[in-house]
Structure 1
Amino acid sequence: MHDSALLSIQVGMPGVHDANAKPWESGIFKHPVSGRVWLDTLNLAGDAQQDLKVHGGPFRAVLLYSASHYPVWRAELDLPDFPYGAFGENLTISYWTETTAALGDIYELGEARIQVTQPRQPCWKLARRWGLKDLTARVAATGWGGWYARVLQPGYIEAGDALKLTERLYPEMTIARLNALINQDIDDPEALALLADAEPLTPGWRQHFAKLAG
C-alpha cells in the first residue's frame, strides 16, 4: 500500500477578523507548528473550529490537504509564497489527492490512527480569508477542497511522520466521487445505498444519502 508523508501541521483558534470593518468569526487562519503535537479525538492541541455545524466534531477532527495542489494554486493566483495551511487544513500531506484518497481509508500517522470520513465543502470564508472573491468557487470547481478524518487512536504526530495506509474499506468511493455524488444529481442507487450504510461517513451525510436512497 502507498505511503505518504506529513509535510506540515497547522493549528489555529477561532477569532474575530476585520474588527474595524465588517467583523467576521472564523477558525480558518492556521499557522504551522513544529515538534510533536497531540492529536485527540476532536482536534489537534492548539486547534479549534468556529462553526461546529459544518466543522469539527469527532467525524471532522482534522482537515487534510494535498501538497501537490500548491504549485498549481501558487501559479494560478500569482502568489508564489502561498503557504501550507492556506486552505485551513491541519495536515498538509504528500502523494494522496481527492482522486486517490477514499472514504474509510485508515492511516497510521505517528502514534495516531485516522480514518477518512468526508470531503471538505469550501465556504465563503476561504475567499474572504485571502481577499479573493472567486477563490471558493474555483476550489469547488477543481474539487480540491481537501477531506476530513476522524481519530481512531489519539497520539503524538510530527511533521515528517509517514502517513501509512493500512486499510481500505471503500476503495472505489474516492473523495472525488463522493464530491460528485454530493454536488451533482447522479442516478446511482447502488452508491446511494452504500453511503447510507457507510459507518465511517459523517452521520449527517449518511442521513442525506439514506433519504436519497429512499
Structure 2
Amino acid sequence: MISFTILELRAGRTRPLGDKGHVSAIDKQRTNGLVHVGPEGLEDDEQADRRHHGGRDKALHAYPLTHYPSWAAELPQQADRFVPGGFGENFVVDGITEQDLCLGDRFQIGPVLVELSQSRQPCWKLNLRFNRPDMARRVQSTGRTGWYFRVLRTGDIQAGCTAELVDRPNPDWPLTRVADLLYQSTNDSEALAEFARLPELPDNWRRLVDRRIRSKSTEDWRRRLLTPTQRKVDH
C-alpha cells in the first residue's frame, strides 16, 4: 500500500520578499493541533498571486523532506535555507517523492480526501527565496518540484497523520512522465493528446497543452523562471 506521513502542516500570510519587496506568502509557519482543510487549503493560509497560486487546483502544496539534504549538498552556500518549509509547502511529507506518484492519485488523510492535481511549476520567487538567480530553473530541471492537491472532502487534520492511497486512475502518468512532457519532450504530439484527455487535468494545463498542439511549439518560460529584474537584463 502506498502511503506517506505528513510531518508538518504549514500556513502563511503575505509579506514582502526580496530586495524589491515583491509580495509573497512563501514563508509558511508550522501550525499546531488540528487544522481545518477547506476547499482551497489550510485555514489561515494565503497566496499573494491568486492568478498563479492557490485556488482549488492548487489548494495544498506538498514537498518531500528527503529532497532537502540533496539541495544542501548541491548548494552549500544556501544550505541553511534548505530546511522544512523552505519551498513554501503546506505539507512536509516523508516516505514518498514525485517518482512514486501519478496524476489524479487520491489519498485519504483522516476525514480529508485529496487528489493530486499537478506537479509544481517553479516560478521566479524561488530565486528570491533562496538568493540564487537560477533556483527556479534548477527545481524544474531536477524534477524536485513537489506537487499540489485539490481537496475533494474537507475536514480537520494534524501533523503526524498518515495519507493512504485509495485510488490511482492514471497509472500511466507518473509525475516523472508529466515532468518529461512539460520540460523535455515538450512537443510529443501523441503524448500531449493523451495527456489532454485526462479528466483530472487542471484547466491551466489543458490550455497549455492545447496551445502546444496548435502552435507546434513550446511556450516561453522566461516570464515564469526569471525575476522581473532578470527579464529586463535578458531583453
Give the TM-score of the pair, scaled to structure 1.
0.91
- Report the counterpart of residue 115 of structure 1 in structure 2: 115
Q: Mark the CA change 1:138 to 1:188 in structure 2 (over 3 Å): closer, same or farther.
A: closer
Match 1:34 to one of 9, 32, 45: 32
**DSSP 3-state at the match of 1:99:** helix
Q: Does 1:17 align with 2:10?
A: no
Q: Distance in 1 between matches of 2:170 and 2:33?
A: 33
* Matching residue's letter, 1:119: S
- What residue ranges of structure 1 are gaps of 5+ in the alignment? none
Contact 1:37 1:44 in 2 (8 A): yes
**DSSP 3-state at the match of 2:66:** helix
Match 1:55 to one of 53, 56, 64: 53
Deviation at 1:207, TM superposition (A): 2.5
- Report the counterpart of residue 181 of structure 1 in structure 2: 181
**DSSP 3-state at the match of 2:141:** helix
Q: Mark the CA change 1:17 to 1:211 in structure 2 (over 3 Å): closer, same or farther.
A: closer
Contact 1:41 1:150 in 2 (8 A): yes
**DSSP 3-state at the match of 2:98:** coil
- Report the counterpart of residue 71 of structure 1 in structure 2: 69
Q: Mark the CA change 1:153 to 1:22 in structure 2 (over 3 Å): closer, same or farther.
A: same
Contact 2:187 2:213 in 1 (8 A): no
134-143 vs 37-46, which deviates more? 134-143
Contact 1:196 1:207 in 2 (8 A): no
Deviation at 1:80, TM superposition (A): 5.3
How many pairs were matched up?
Answer: 212
Divergent runs of 4+, >3 A:
185-190, 210-214
Q: Distance in 2 between matches of 1:199 and 1:186?
A: 20
- Report the counterpart of residue 127 of structure 1 in structure 2: 127
Deviation at 1:186, TM superposition (A): 4.1
Deviation at 1:187, TM superposition (A): 5.0
Give the TM-score of the pair, scaled to structure 2.
0.83
- Report the counterpart of residue 152 of structure 1 in structure 2: 152
Same amino acid, percent of matched pairs = 36
**DSSP 3-state at the match of 1:182:** helix
Q: Distance in 2 between matches of 1:88 and 1:176?
A: 21
Deviation at 1:133, TM superposition (A): 2.6
Q: Distance in 2 between matches of 1:210 and 1:122?
A: 21
Q: Does 1:106 align with 2:106?
A: yes
Deviation at 1:38, TM superposition (A): 0.6
Deviations 1:133-158 (A, max 9, x none): 33222212211111111000011111
* RMSD (CA atoms): 1.8
